[in-house]
Structures are given as C-alpha cells and as structure tokens.
Amino acid sequence: MNFERLYDLRGDVARVSAMQEVSRRRSDQGLSKKPHLVGSRSWWRAIERGRIPTNVVEGTISDVLWTGMGDYPEFEVTTSEGRKVGWTREGDSTRYVPGLQVRIASVEHPWKDPSQFSGILGATSRIVLSIDIEESTWRYPARAPGPFDHPESVELWRPTGPAELTLVEEGGFRAWPPRLPEQPIFYPVLSREYATRIAKEWNASASGIGYVTRFSVDGRFLAAYDTHEVGGRAHTEYWIPAEELVAFNHHIQGLIEVVAQYRDTGA
C-alpha cells in the first residue's frame, strides 16, 4: 500500500507563524514557549531526538464530518484496536474518504496557563505534525453543508439493468459499484416516476429487463450537491462524480431495494 503526504506542519508557514505570535505575547493565552517555542529549530530538534514524544495513530477513516456551524472539516479514524479518534482535515479536505488508510503524527504541547482550558481542551494542545493517506482517486465533496437544517434522510431512486444490479447484490445491496471509465457521473433521481420511465424506455430496451431501485441517503451529506432538472421538474437528479461515489455509498442508510421490474415488450 502506498501513502502520500497530505499535510506537513513544516510547510504550513502561516499556521506556525500564528501560533508563535500568540505565544510571544505577554498574556495567558496561547501555547507555552516551554520547553521550546512551537515551530522553532530547537522545537523540531527536540522532536527529532525524542525529547518531545511523537504520537502516531494509524487506522481507517471511518467517518467524515462537518462540525461547528456545518463548515468545519473533521474526520474520524478507527484504529486496529477499535479505538475511534477525531481529527481536523488538514490539507486537501477532499482526500479524506471513508475506507482509506491514514497515518497521523502529532505531539502534545502545554498551554501557557494549563488551568485555563483544563475543563475543555485539557492541559495540552494536540499539534498535528503530518498526515499520510493511502493513495486513491476517491474524493469527498468539498462543499460544506452550512448551519441550516437538512433532512436526516433523503429518498432516492435509480433505474438500472441486470449487470449493475448483479454487482449491487454482490455488495449486499449496500453500495453502488464503481463507475466505468466512460461513466464519469452517477445519476440517482428524486422521483419514482422518472426512474420508472428510464427503466422502461432505456434499461428494458437495452438489456431485456429494467429495474427500479429505492434507497435513502443522509440528507446532510447530500446538502453538498445541487439537484439538476433534466427536461422538467419531474425529471430531477443528483450528479455525483465517479471519484466521490465511495463517499456517497458510505452515507446510504439501510439497503438498496428493488421495487419494480419491467421487461422489454418489443413494441
């Protein structure tokens, strides 16, 4: 398995400068200058020599979240021991996709006044040094849902043929299969009527039989996508890029159901 460096604190000049600026102020806020000023040569040297211990967490990305006002990017890692740890998505937030392996290196650094945040953040701050993530073409939508209310569940429909449905069945009716190279977009639709029309007029004609499926997706996840009308309000669909289908599947609630089938009448 190959990993790529997604974030490196050494290259995050703006963040290091901001932390150092607060540390140098004559106030109780910010990180302590002891044992060394964060980001200084002596600080990095202490880390390299083990005087400041480095903590490494390895595991699988088990969830991707927008916290705060629905605009702060976080993710959850589940380790091989089953421990779940939350982190901020540093670097390219679209690279954090459930199912990928990740490795995070961090250190603990004391606050100037540990008692100030002891009941909230603890006596130390967890500073991420680097994040390495499994190489993949999978992506997560970059757009934050924002602070507004979103439905917990959105019912979607998809017309399909026997070949695709076989792959869905092989996956336990829990996920849609990866797109083929000539299929850059996955199209779930918002009405049974629209799905039925396509199943009858396209899938049945092309494959001898067409199916209509129904499934539900987390509405907070779908808020990152716009809907598109194709020939009228009754024909509304989502356009999910192929590289984001893994993330989409992760937010399917329950099973994908086959609710109807239509055979080609030859008419």
What span, in angstroms and rounded, lies between the C-alpha atoms of 138 and 98? 9
Domains of the chain: 3-134 (no CATH), 154-263 (3.20.170)
pLDDT at 116 over 80: no
What span, in angstroms and rounded, lies between the C-alpha atoms of 66 and 245? 18
What mean pLDDT comes out for the span 219-243?
89
Phi-psi category of residue 149: left, alpha or beta, with phi > 0 → left and psi -120 to 50 → alpha: beta
Contacts of 102 (CB under 8 A, 6+ apart): 58, 59, 60, 61, 77, 96, 131, 132, 133, 134
Give the pLDDT confidence of 40-69 residue by residue, as tens digits. Answer: 999 999 999 999 999 999 999 999 999 887
Q: Within 10 A of 59 (CB to CB), how many other CB atoms are there?
A: 19
pTM: 0.83
Q: What is the pLDDT of residue 27?
A: 77
Sign of CA dihedral 250, 254, 258, 260: negative
Q: What is the DSSP letter of 207?
A: H
